[in-house]
Structure 1
């Protein structure tokens, strides 16, 4: 049977190939965001001003599409929905991005990207704890998801608690690090353990947002509108926090074209274009297909950060990244296997129900037609004799 995706072509390229190209481009875009964010922090951009500008740009991109594309799908906005959007913003925007920047400031882009691979496993653990996800330890898919979750937790723990010796460091990396420390204002030595704890908080917030978003979308099935409202409340929350914690008016000004570029990249590419591409890929390829490409981002970040930032690779980080990526694939395999089993059970149930209906209909037909056939059958027999 021909793959239906092969029939949809753009510039001669089948849709399946388009999906792979789009996912690779998405991972490069997100990888660039990790490096650009690190550069922004090195230039001294405020950790509060950066997400405010980023989310304002994303909001300006999302609102027109949400307004015009979801007019028919958007339910009436009520106070209950407003409260839910506010909480989604608190978890998915404010805490998520705040913890990420704090963690990135104390660690590196590569390890920030590596720890993010644990999000599917953490999401599964949260959903299981809230009874949204069922855990079947008597089946191999359930065991795989649990093993994958434990591997991700172990990997994150290794990265946090064990830095280890330097495995690889580009030539001149110490000079680059020294220049960056001076550029950032001489903040002194970073706290690696605290940074990893912040990044774990970032992953927990991200997973919590995914879990909380699911029931909201069932009642408010307009994804772009939900994201727009979430982004709006995220901007409000960051502005309120910044009003109390960022008193320096100079922090809100752009001091160079590089600072402006980092903010525009974060807003347009990481929050705008990447979101649109990811939604299309999830719609056409499914969430598992999208998640499988996540480790590619870590590899790209490692290469780019090594070349541009002179980043070193530590034994603990490499061991932790391997554990997390292995755990990710265990969880994804378990989810795919579970989906396949559910599909088989549904097909079997449908076939059984169809068989019962068919037998019932046949019995009814037999009871109705049999008396009418008897005379014909009898006469036929008599003629043969």
Structure 2
């Protein structure tokens, strides 16, 4: 086993997974901060994917120069639909859902992605369901547990946040439902849940659709680059129609720049990791 700084390879894998999970958690918080600062939900993913694209293209071009198949119209169409599902719908639903809920909830409901992915793969016969084996039974039980958990956190209406305070002249929060208070004034928690479920469905569909594409076009970094490119084009078209405020494209603080850079690096890491897992 290879050692890095005296650390065994098995320990390195655990550290890498912990770092990855911290990165995911940070992305939820940073994205919510970006929305709270007033960054447009259409401008944010455009800049995010542009950063990821510029960082990824040099590696894809030079590392896969000899292994990359020729780009044909058929491949371009497949990359376009991968972007539509895995970037445009995925990120669009996520930001809409996060804007109406909370980073904690968005992170929790993403745990349903493996279950949804397994269900889609089984339905399309990409993956077999083996109930005669322990791993097959474990997958089915895990899928049911994930779906049940996602349903509970979506449908549960919790108690009030604060108990009544005697002699308090200020408006009491005793009648404010828990979910409504967490979502914030003017937000719709139920609609946010629907958006996040759409985000999970899009993410799972993206993972499933990548499998047949990567079999025909095995250059993983190039597939991610083309997908990211079409995602930028799609978001730019949508923003041209719905984002009429020219000032939304201007950075107003260093904090906004930081959130976009962090999101761009996270987009790069997640795209490469997803392609590696599917491959």
Q: Could you tell me the TM-score, scaled by structure 2's length? A: 0.87
Give the unaligned 5+ runs of structure 2.
Answer: 163-172, 174-183
Q: Distance in 1 between matches of 2:267 and 2:154?
A: 28
Q: How does 1:75-224 map to 2 (within 5 A)?
A: 75-165=69-159, 188-224=185-221
Q: Is the 8 A contact 1:100 1:202 kept in 2?
A: yes
Q: Distance in 2 between matches of 1:28 and 1:167?
A: 28
**Match for residue 268 of structure 2?**
272
- Structure having the higher Rg: 1
Q: Is the 8 A contact 1:85 1:230 kept in 2?
A: yes
Alpha carbons of structure 1 residues 249 and 79: separation in structure 2 relative to 1, 3 Å: same
Give the unaligned 5+ runs of structure 1.
Answer: 1-5, 169-173, 175-186, 289-385
Q: How does 1:173-322 map to 2 (within 5 A)?
A: 188-268=185-265, 270-273=266-269, 278=273
Higher helix share: 1
Give CA deviations for 1:280-335 in whole Å, capped at 9, x if unaligned.
xx97xxx59xxxxxxxxxxxxxxxxxxxxxxxxxxxxxxxxxxxxxxxxxxxxxxx
Alpha carbons of structure 1 residues 238 and 275: separation in structure 2 relative to 1, 3 Å: closer
Give the superposition deviation at 1:275. Answer: 5.3
Alignment coverage as a number of residue pairs: 258
Q: Is the 8 A contact 2:97 2:192 kept in 1?
A: yes
Q: Is the 8 A contact 1:26 1:274 kept in 2?
A: no
Q: Specify the SS of the correspondent of 1:9.
A: coil
Give the superposition deviation at 1:147. Answer: 2.0
Q: Is the 8 A contact 2:82 2:227 kept in 1?
A: yes
Indicate whether 1:27 and 2:21 are aligned.
Answer: yes
Computed over aligned residues only, the root mean square deviation of the Cα atoms, in angstroms, reads: 2.1
Give CA deviations for 1:41-73 in whole Å, capped at 9, x if unaligned.
111110000000000000001000000000111
Q: Could you tell me the TM-score, scaled by structure 1's length? A: 0.64
Q: Specify the SS of the correspondent of 1:13.
A: coil
Q: How does 1:36-55 map to 2 (within 5 A)?
A: 36-55=30-49
Q: Distance in 1 between matches of 2:8 and 2:161?
A: 42
Give the superposition deviation at 1:121. Answer: 0.8
Give the superposition deviation at 1:273. Answer: 4.8
Q: Distance in 1 between matches of 2:270 and 2:9?
A: 18
